[in-house]
A and B are shown apart, each in its own frame.
Chain A
């Protein structure tokens, strides 16, 4: 699956480094795999489904994912990396993102000033500790998850939300690979001319949950639009080229044209779309606590980012990967708009006003960003870069970002 690999474009912690076992743990940790997999179990049992239904839902990598799943429950680790990426590609992130419970506080990472090697070691220690204590942590997390139940009701994967689990089990089996293939094909098509930049500003190459949800929304809307336009054009050309009726007194079927096609169909389609969109929008709001706050200030022509520790950077925004980051955006002169297409939608930077945007990078890496609101002659070059660093590799990344 070409596209799936694209979803984790920058390999997180250089898996080649360190010993295989540790690296594996490390990668899993970064992908939040260990925790969310478990968090899914209550969701499904709540819906009256056994979790093997969940396995059936992943047709392509099904067996692998199944294995991985079992392994996680037993040994709290060693799942197929592929299965995890599959989850990201196939549907939006599940509601509960328990990093806040399980993850170390970001300040802890920040205070680490040690060199790379030492940091990696401490990381290793932390992971070992995690492995040993997994059951206890899982219990603690379950309590936390109870509070997220309501959220999960809406936060189930979208296809289940719309059609129910049964549909997903039966139809989704072929539907999911189909959708992924469509996506892969589209991405290949879209990105074919972009070999050089790998779609660094592409909204359809998402690298964060918010952008991912919107990209999903886009593919759904594209599919729906293609169907609808096919319907309209078919009717139009049938109307144009069907054999004429000489008799003008023939009933004109007003009910069908205006009642069903003109009223009922759009009302039905649009209601579903609105509910879906409201769900996507609500999920991307900066609610709850974010791990990190950044203050972004736009001006002619540059960007300043200030962090909680009082430090600031110009033109580069440093954020931890896999953490919710809230950006408080403002401007000092004219209106600008902060846009990191692969992470989230845009938010205007307006003088005299602070707007908050929630972003999250799924993996460490560089994400290009541009100003989206015309701000004068320097608009075309009014860009910046988001540097998402690996929280397990803080000092290295911080150094690199600086």
Chain B
């Protein structure tokens, strides 16, 4: 009886609002995760149709099917959709759906942020697709190299669609990344120390960490290129001191980690599924975790291998070549750990296992050609040919699509509570595997025979006719395979038989809940003492449902989950999560308004939406927290824990730290750009006289230091914190004034030279960061006045201090970088 009552209470607390309003206000990770996955699958379908158009065009020489203009849009959109609208959101969806469940939590760290990410993804993706339908889709290749993508050579809106649409979608990636890291570090089952985490959590931790540092360079690059296109700031124009290579560096600083960002979650799925199917624990857990971390680290040191033909000195290329082949080692560790696991166990030939075998075949070949392409002299021959096209499809389809298909069949019974119906999945597997190899295996040869990428047609004399025709036939075979897969999944969803809970005899906590999962995941939260809690105790799920875990009781209408110590997993506090909210949807709409006004060149309207976004963020934060002090709460097992309002290290604090880390990466990329142009670009130094100036930097220094000191004093003594926040905000205003006066008095107009353009961008960034810090401090004074922030609930003080400290530090750095640069020009 108690269990049923508990279930009713939790359902009342966790369920979303009914009807259409519920669709807009849902913050449930299960709903949003499924939406991400379904939308990503739809975009995969659209990208797949574009791929079929490419293959139809290339099937015969001198084909009249599509002209070069249309073909340019098709291949650009195929790449962009598959990368940004399929692969990344698919892995986000998988993480969003799965993460709290495998960690033993009830939701992610920031449910409303999940919703914001979803709407940004949906709106940004829709802009791209609408542009495609309208015939104004991006057409300069998915890596959008300037000057081709610049205003002069792409005067239409095409490149803007990419820059703005993708940046919009990127917001969702950044939200997801921060959320995944904090969730893994804080929202785990009691006593789940780092070493007891399911291996998937390690993979997602590495992935999200890479996203936090990998995406900002691309976002910066997009901002710079959009500034150049919209306002003529010459970052990439050599005649005005810019360099097209700066874009390539920024793009591939993102672009290479991106490959591992896509691969790692898929590898995590494999590391989860293979031991279950082999009926034995994964061998080399520690080695795999080390390999994953090494991969995450190394992947940032090899972006130049996309630039082996740009004229960089050979010895420097040798370094990046070595780093590139080095990543083969952690990958090999994982491959052999998986094979070793299968060897040690008794493999079951289930449907996921078919796709896993497909993964091995395709991915190993892709990895080997990857090593070949990491070799400088060979890459200089194969670069930008069909060989690379073949290689990247082997890696991405092998390393992502096949594991995702396996994962789909593995977790479908979890999401639907049903088993598969027919053997369609096996037929689909053979069609996809054979079709894939028929498309891409000999495409390596096509490339070696000299066929460059991105040719809309080729002469019959070139001798690539048969090779291309076979590829086209294979690709359509593959398309039928994917179609069959989609039908199979739809059938399973509709008419599959009810499956029992945990049909695979799995090891991880997501199977210790009813399927399909209730909105609250677990009626009570588990305590774990090993890595495979379900193997240890097959009845764990029933016990949890009966309320024999932690928090197996309800307090009012409060959404609760457990937050733990980051390392040991000891219970630390009870996190109280927000319920359904329309604010994320509205915020996404306002952000969308900004992107649309930029896209439609309504530049006067854009600041209105920036202001609107600030208002929305203020509203968002103002609705969190509490003014009531209800002290520590009972965990349901006799222990008392504080709530998240009363602790210093709340998830809000860690999220802020990570957001600042991402912002600092963007800043570092911009500073890199400044010095890169200075050293590498032609037409330097800029014309005109640049003298040293110290007055304005001194002003900024005074403001920044004062802001830092005031925030320190406020944090130490609550009685002084309101005044401290006020002083801090005023000092930041002083710093902003110093920055602006310095730029106006000493920098030339941003359109004149890349030095001035970068200088104005640096100044704008510093002003932006300082204003964010300033607003955070003003916000705190309001929160103290309203009674949300007290000496017992001080965590918002800490959060505001992080933001204002960062604003002050950036203002200080930028003021001196610009002053000293001017002095030495």
Residues in chain A within 8 A of chain B (CB atoms): 190-191, 193-194, 196-197, 199-204, 210-211, 213-214, 217-218, 221, 225, 228-229, 232-233, 235-236, 238-240, 242, 244-246, 248, 250, 252-254, 256-258, 261-263, 265-267, 270, 273-274, 277-278, 280-282, 284-285, 300, 333-335, 337, 339, 341, 344-348, 350-356, 368, 370-380
Q: Which of B593-649 contact A (CB under 8 A)?
A: none
Contacting pair A235 B376 (CB below 8 A): no
Complex interface bits, B235-246 against A, C-beta within 8 A gives 1, otherwise 0: 000110001110
Residues in chain B within 8 A of chain A (CB atoms): 67-69, 72, 140-141, 145, 147-148, 152-153, 238-239, 243-245, 280, 283-284, 287, 291, 309-311, 314, 317-318, 321-322, 325-326, 328-329, 332-337, 339-347, 357, 360-361, 364-365, 368-369, 371-372, 375-385, 445, 448-458, 460-463, 465-467, 681-683
B341 to A, closest residue via Cβ = A252
Contacting pair B342 A199 (CB below 8 A): no
Contacting pair B148 A334 (CB below 8 A): yes
Given known A270-B329, A281-B317, contact A380–B456 (CB-CB < 8 A): yes
List A contacts of B375 (CB < 8 A): 217, 221, 273-274, 277
Contacting pair A218 B332 (CB below 8 A): no
Given known A266-B328, A374-B453, A379-B454, contact A352–B244 (CB-CB < 8 A): yes
Contacting pair A217 B377 (CB below 8 A): yes
Query: Whole-angstrom distance between the alpha carbons of A185 and B461 in the complex?
Result: 22
Q: Give which listed residue, A194, A238, A261, A333, contacts B336 with CB less than 8 A.
A: A261
Query: Whole-angstrom distance between the alpha carbons of A304 and B466 in the complex?
Result: 33
Query: Whole-angstrom distance between the alpha carbons of A267 and B357 in the complex?
Result: 25
List B contacts of A200 (CB < 8 A): 450, 461-463
Contacting pair B452 A190 (CB below 8 A): no
B709 CB, min distance to chain A CBs, angstroms:
46
Contacting pair A333 B147 (CB below 8 A): yes
Contacting pair A347 B311 (CB below 8 A): yes
Q: Give which listed residue, A194, A252, A262, A353, contacts B449 with CB less than 8 A.
A: A194
List A contacts of B140 (CB < 8 A): 374, 376
List A contacts of B453 (CB < 8 A): 372, 374
Contacting pair A258 B141 (CB below 8 A): no
List A contacts of B67 (CB < 8 A): 377
B147 to A, closest residue via Cβ = A334
Query: Whole-angstrom distance between the alpha carbons of A355 and B308 in the complex?
Result: 12
List B contacts of A257 (CB < 8 A): 283-284, 336-337, 339-340, 343
List B contacts of A378 (CB < 8 A): 68
B344 to A, closest residue via Cβ = A252
Query: Whole-angstrom distance between the alpha carbons of A274 and B375 in the complex?
Result: 7
Given contacts A232-B335, A351-B147, A372-B453, 14 further A-B contacts (CB under 8 A): A190-B448, A196-B461, A217-B378, A257-B336, A258-B283, A262-B329, A263-B333, A281-B376, A344-B380, A348-B309, A355-B311, A372-B384, A376-B68, A380-B68
List A contacts of B372 (CB < 8 A): 218, 221, 225
Given known A190-B448, A257-B340, contact A372–B385 (CB-CB < 8 A): yes
Contacting pair A350 B311 (CB below 8 A): yes
Given known A346-B381, A346-B383, A352-B244, contact A376–B448 (CB-CB < 8 A): no
Contacting pair B452 A370 (CB below 8 A): yes
Given known A201-B462, A242-B343, A252-B340, contact A341–B450 (CB-CB < 8 A): yes
List A contacts of B311 (CB < 8 A): 347-348, 350, 353-356
List A contacts of B448 (CB < 8 A): 190, 202-204, 218
Contacting pair A337 B287 (CB below 8 A): no
A228 to B, closest residue via Cβ = B368
Contacting pair B317 A353 (CB below 8 A): no
Given known A282-B314, A346-B383, contact A352–B239 (CB-CB < 8 A): yes
What are 20 A-B pairs with beta-carbon distances under 8 A? A199-B449, A204-B449, A221-B371, A233-B364, A254-B284, A257-B283, A262-B284, A262-B333, A274-B321, A277-B377, A341-B381, A345-B381, A350-B245, A352-B681, A353-B682, A354-B311, A372-B385, A374-B140, A376-B148, A377-B456
A226 to B, closest residue via Cβ = B368
B243 to A, closest residue via Cβ = A352
List A contacts of B377 (CB < 8 A): 210, 213-214, 217, 277, 280-281, 284, 345
List A contacts of B317 (CB < 8 A): 281
B449 to A, closest residue via Cβ = A202
B468 CB, min distance to chain A CBs, angstroms:
11
A152 CB, min distance to chain B CBs, angstroms:
20
Contacting pair A193 B463 (CB below 8 A): yes
List A contacts of B347 (CB < 8 A): 239-240, 244
Q: Give which listed residue, A203, A236, A285, contacts B381 with CB less than 8 A.
A: A203
List B contacts of A341 (CB < 8 A): 381, 450
Q: Which 10 A-B pairs have the closest CB atoms?
A: A352-B238, A201-B450, A345-B380, A194-B463, A257-B340, A355-B311, A244-B346, A262-B333, A377-B68, A239-B343
Q: Give which listed residue, A225, A239, A379, contacts B369 with CB less than 8 A.
A: A225
Contacting pair B450 A202 (CB below 8 A): yes
Contacting pair B344 A266 (CB below 8 A): no
A354 to B, closest residue via Cβ = B311
Q: Give which listed residue, B318, B445, B682, contacts A278 with CB less than 8 A.
A: B318
List B contacts of A244 (CB < 8 A): 345-347
List A contacts of B682 (CB < 8 A): 352-353
Query: Whole-angstrom distance between the alpha carbons of A211 and B328 in the complex?
Result: 26
Contacting pair A197 B245 (CB below 8 A): no
B45 CB, min distance to chain A CBs, angstroms:
25
Contacting pair A193 B466 (CB below 8 A): yes
B239 to A, closest residue via Cβ = A352
Q: Give which listed residue, B243, B332, B451, B455, contacts A266 with CB less than 8 A.
A: B332
Contacting pair A245 B371 (CB below 8 A): no
Query: Whole-angstrom distance between the alpha carbons of A348 and B307 in the complex?
Result: 9
B778 CB, min distance to chain A CBs, angstroms:
46
A161 CB, min distance to chain B CBs, angstroms:
15
List B contacts of A278 (CB < 8 A): 318, 321, 376
List B contacts of A197 (CB < 8 A): 461-463
Q: Give which listed residue, A202, A270, A350, contacts B310 with CB less than 8 A.
A: A350
Contacting pair A248 B309 (CB below 8 A): no
B688 CB, min distance to chain A CBs, angstroms:
20
Query: Whole-angstrom distance between the alpha carbons of A214 and B183 in the complex?
Result: 49
Q: Give which listed residue, B244, B365, B382, contacts A351 with CB less than 8 A.
A: B244
Query: Whole-angstrom distance between the alpha carbons of A213 and B309 in the complex?
Result: 17
- Find the residue from B152, B333, B334 having the highest chain A CB count within 10 A: B333
Contacting pair B318 A281 (CB below 8 A): yes
Contacting pair A380 B458 (CB below 8 A): yes
Contacting pair A236 B243 (CB below 8 A): no
Q: Give which listed residue, B148, B239, B314, B463, contacts A374 with CB less than 8 A.
A: B148
Query: Whole-angstrom distance between the alpha carbons of A221 and B450 in the complex?
Result: 18
List A contacts of B148 (CB < 8 A): 334-335, 374-376
List B contacts of A225 (CB < 8 A): 365, 368-369, 371-372
A185 CB, min distance to chain B CBs, angstroms:
13
A162 CB, min distance to chain B CBs, angstroms:
15
Contacting pair A239 B467 (CB below 8 A): no
B287 CB, min distance to chain A CBs, angstroms:
5
Contacting pair B68 A379 (CB below 8 A): yes
List B contacts of A347 (CB < 8 A): 309, 311, 380
Contacting pair A263 B449 (CB below 8 A): no
Contacting pair A236 B342 (CB below 8 A): yes
Query: Whole-angstrom distance between the alpha carbons of A187 and B357 in the complex?
Result: 32
Given known A190-B445, A196-B461, contact A334–B368 (CB-CB < 8 A): no
Query: Whole-angstrom distance between the alpha carbons of A335 and B161 in the complex?
Result: 21
B326 CB, min distance to chain A CBs, angstroms:
7
Query: Whole-angstrom distance between the alpha carbons of A260 and B145 in the complex?
Result: 42
Contacting pair B310 A355 (CB below 8 A): yes
List A contacts of B337 (CB < 8 A): 257-258, 262
Query: Whole-angstrom distance between the alpha carbons of A236 and B368 in the complex?
Result: 16
Query: Whole-angstrom distance between the alpha carbons of A35 and B790 in the complex?
Result: 90
Given known A347-B309, A370-B452, A380-B455, contact A335–B364 (CB-CB < 8 A): no
Contacting pair B244 A221 (CB below 8 A): no
Query: Whole-angstrom distance between the alpha carbons of A171 and B382 in the complex?
Result: 31
